[in-house]
Amino acid sequence: MVSVMAGVIDPEQAFNGFSHPAVITVAAVLVISSGLAVSGVIDRIAHIVVPPLKNLFFQISIMSSFSALLSAMMNNVAALAFLMPATIDSAKKVKRSPALLLMPLSFG
């Protein structure tokens, strides 16, 4: 039986999780993708790679294929963070919920 002790956690244990490579990767990816979005790089790529197609099937196919291609060359989280802003903009242009596109994008 595992006993749970209530009390104060020492500072070393409280911050141990932040040193895990996954946490550092996600934080770095979010910072980089925000910088790319603010600089306008994402918008330029979005016009080329993620066209605002009326047909949902084709839009998902193109985005997922490009996501898979990027994931083959870089971190999966980075590829997703790179394409998320472009996907959301593309969905808004055709008046479609971004939720319809983001889940297939993450699978790609």
For residue range 14-61, what is the model confidence (pLDDT) as tens digits?
777 777 888 887 788 778 777 777 887 766 776 676 666 778 888 888
Q: Is the pLDDT of residue 100 over 80?
A: yes
What confidence score (pLDDT) does residue 49 get?
Answer: 67
pLDDT at 64 over 80: yes
CA angle 72, 91, 77 (to 5 degrees): 30
Burial-class residue 63 by CB neighbours within 10 Å (0-12, 13-18, 19+). Answer: buried
Q: Residue 52: its pLDDT value, please?
A: 66
Choice between 87 and 49, residue whose per-residue pLDDT is larger: 87
Residue ranges covered by each domain of the chain: 40-108
